[in-house]
């Protein structure tokens, strides 16, 4: 007789001639408690993500973006002529490019917001019907 005979995969004896992995054993393992299935403490990750870790990651990411932005501004200080809808003037290249990028960001946010509102109205209308 080997070490594996008469024992379940978890190492418990199977009892009176019961084969390992029988439906009774599977039902016992999957049987929920009154409050639902309880995760084992061994499978719970103590280093799981949290809101604090998400905020920390965001702060680090924004800090890197800010550093890259400062480098961009420092390297693009030459003055350029800018003309827009009849307005003319001079400004540093970095400021001109940043203003253009921010204007593009606002346009994208406006288009996205309008699309989200349109989808919410459609969902609300479909749930009433």
Q: Is residue 46 part of a domain?
A: no
Range of the domain at 96: 78-129
Whether 90 maps to a domain, the answer reads: yes
Assess if residue 1 is contained within a domain. no
* φ, ψ of residue 11 in degrees (nearest 5): 95, 0
Residue 96 domain-assigned? yes
- HSE-CB at 12 with a 13 A cutoff on CA atoms is 11
Domain count, the chain: 1
Q: Give the tokens for residue 103.
A: 């204007």
Q: Where are the alpha helices (DSSP H) in the chain?
A: 23-30, 51-75, 93-128
Rounded to an integer, what distance in angstroms lies between the CA atom of residue 88 and that of residue 36?
69
107 vs 26 pLDDT, higher one = 107
Asked whether residue 113 carries a pLDDT value surpassing 90, the answer given is: yes
CB 99 within 8 A of CB 87: no
pTM of the model: 0.46
How do residues 16-73 score in pLDDT, each as one tens digit?
Answer: 554 555 555 555 555 555 565 555 555 676 667 777 878 888 888 888 988 888 888 8
């Amino acid at each position: 007789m080997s070490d594996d005979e008469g024992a379940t995969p978890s190492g418990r004896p199977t009892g009176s001639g019961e084969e390992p992995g029988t439906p009774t054993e599977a039902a016992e393992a999957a049987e929920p408690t009154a409050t639902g299935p309880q995760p084992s403490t061994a499978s719970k990750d103590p280093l799981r993500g949290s809101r604090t870790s998400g905020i920390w990651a965001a702060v680090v990411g924004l800090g890197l973006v800010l550093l890259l932005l400062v480098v961009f501004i420092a390297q693009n200080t030459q003055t350029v002529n800018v003309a827009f809808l009849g307005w003319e003037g001079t400004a540093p290249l970095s400021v001109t490019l940043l203003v253009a990028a921010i204007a593009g960001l606002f346009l994208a946010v406006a288009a996205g917001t309008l699309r989200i509102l349109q989808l919410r109205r459609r969902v609300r209308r479909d749930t009433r019907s």
